[in-house]
Structure 1
């Protein structure tokens, strides 16, 4: 990540401006709304990651659906060791604020993929439609991100025999916005979020989910406040993502807006019989504040749902800060072990 944005995580100011000198010269062209600053969403939307150099077999750019003018793709990473029978699946949904990001993997996500493909998993990473927040003419909303991710599961179910995968052993996994999507895939059902008519008959549930610092509830925007410093997530921000309108207030919203907000809030779906979830969150996260983890934990306790919340002391929006506890390698090991044990039940 660009150093200016790492610094921004410490201060709560997630903007890149001319004051950042060399960084502005490199990334200033990403200022889509021409307000003199590059937001984290604009930065994420404009930067493409190179494809990972993978020493195992990977099938890239598999078309799983078409939505309007967009062709949506997934990459399928096969087990790096021979396996007997059908493989369990790690199903990865990327972060990027629902408006940016890429299916290409790197860093800690790559490490999770490496460990699990060594243990016989097929790992899948997919792209989904992104919300063009600064284009009022674009109709894609956050809900479409969820629909696409659900359709990706349906596509895998449709082709499970030729892919030699076991769709009863799927673990959804994501970070940040992708963590939110993973929570929704874990708690909602196979018939929820219908999308492509040619895929809907292929029912696909997940056995478990893993969320790294994903938000859990949009009905209460105070959950996104962190000591008054996080101006990035204003009510206008959520309006652009959820409703494509200029303002947002759940308490006073029209019934259709309230319903949309509810179904995009993972906690709204949480029940005693929901699939198990591991949620890992830094206690110094300025982007998705840690109260989301606390809120999720309390909701799970109220309905006796199988949700494990692990706080990481000293961590922000990721695991790169030195001295965090548990440390980076432990977080990755917890993630891998949870996926393996839950997929093998």
Structure 2
């Protein structure tokens, strides 16, 4: 006769449970093509803990033509498990928006989080912004335009949109040099008026009538132009095998930050491309968490 015995497991209960809140409307701006409001939403991952949490606003990439808030779930979940409330957002893209609409949306999301700090249990003065590719560009622009109230439009204007730290992953910096390190053929493609960055700056004809020539718009949209004493610390990372955004874009922004005396760290990740599995490895996640722990925890 056999006897069934229970196996007793002793578990070190260290990992926090994470709750998900989806499709929260944070802003309803007017679209450029339809003149109707766009219902912009965010998703929130929140550790189940009994304290106010530092927050990370995640901005997805998408070449200025899409903004899927569901992107980068492994990175976002890892940050939530590390003790951060993580809000990921969608924002206006071509053709419903052009510069600076996406930046306005990011700042609206920051003000929304601060206005609802009690509801969601976050610490309103401990907020970082993180993004990849086009999202990295918007994260950088958000950081360098700290205290630039001209980009604060919409609701919750009693709140400020300042943030405390920036993580920029293989982001664009100067929209005129996205392909600087690449072939002449690739560079010419980016010089086209039909390139996604040109449409992001100028909008879609005939609905949008450009007010400035492209060179002026490139300068106006450059995060480095806005660097000031109010710019928060930066973490910048780029893969040396990136064939979408030139690695020199990260070097350009990093050099501008350091020249202005802003705290900044830069890592070039060997063999990493534009996105992909390198960016979810434990070594990379640890760099994110260590940076956030230093600056907003």
State the TM bucket, normalised to the shorter chain: 0.7 to 0.9
Task: After TM superposition, give the deviation of residue 262 of structure 1 in Å.
Answer: 2.9
TM-score, scaled to structure 2: 0.81
Q: Say yes or no: does 1:102 pair with 2:61.
A: no
**Relative contact order higher in (CA < 8 Å, ≥ 6 apart):** 2
**Unmatched 5+ stretches in structure 1:** 1-54, 133-137, 247-252
Aligned to 2:200: 241
Q: Secondary structure at the match of 1:146?
A: helix
Q: Secondary structure at the match of 2:39?
A: strand
Question: What are the within-5 Å matches in structure 2 for residues 79-118 of structure 1?
Answer: 79=47, 81-84=48-51, 86-105=52-71, 109-118=72-81
Say if 1:235 and 1:221 are closer, same or farther in 2 by CA, change over 3 A: farther
Q: Say yes or no: does 1:332 pair with 2:285.
A: yes
Say if 1:307 and 1:165 are closer, same or farther in 2 by CA, change over 3 A: same
Structure with greater helix share of residues: 1
Aligned to 2:10: none
The correspondence for 2:277, drawn from 311, 315, 320, is: 320
Aligned to 1:202: 159
Aligned-partner Cα distance in 2 for 1:60–1:208? 25
Q: Does the 8 Å CA contact 2:164/2:233 hold for their aligned counterparts?
A: yes
Say if 1:306 and 1:229 are closer, same or farther in 2 by CA, change over 3 A: farther
Q: Does the 8 Å CA contact 1:59/1:76 hold for their aligned counterparts?
A: yes
Say if 1:88 and 1:317 are closer, same or farther in 2 by CA, change over 3 A: same
Q: Say yes or no: does 1:57 pair with 2:14.
A: no
Task: After TM superposition, give the deviation of residue 254 of structure 1 in Å.
Answer: 6.8
Aligned-partner Cα distance in 2 for 1:141–1:303? 29
Aligned to 1:293: 250
Q: Say yes or no: does 1:193 pair with 2:160.
A: no
TM-score, scaled to structure 1: 0.71
Rg larger for: 2
Task: After TM superposition, give the deviation of residue 273 of structure 1 in Å.
Answer: 4.4
User: How many residues are treated as equivalent by the alignment?
Assistant: 267
Say if 1:327 and 1:160 are closer, same or farther in 2 by CA, change over 3 A: closer
Q: Secondary structure at the match of 1:281?
A: strand
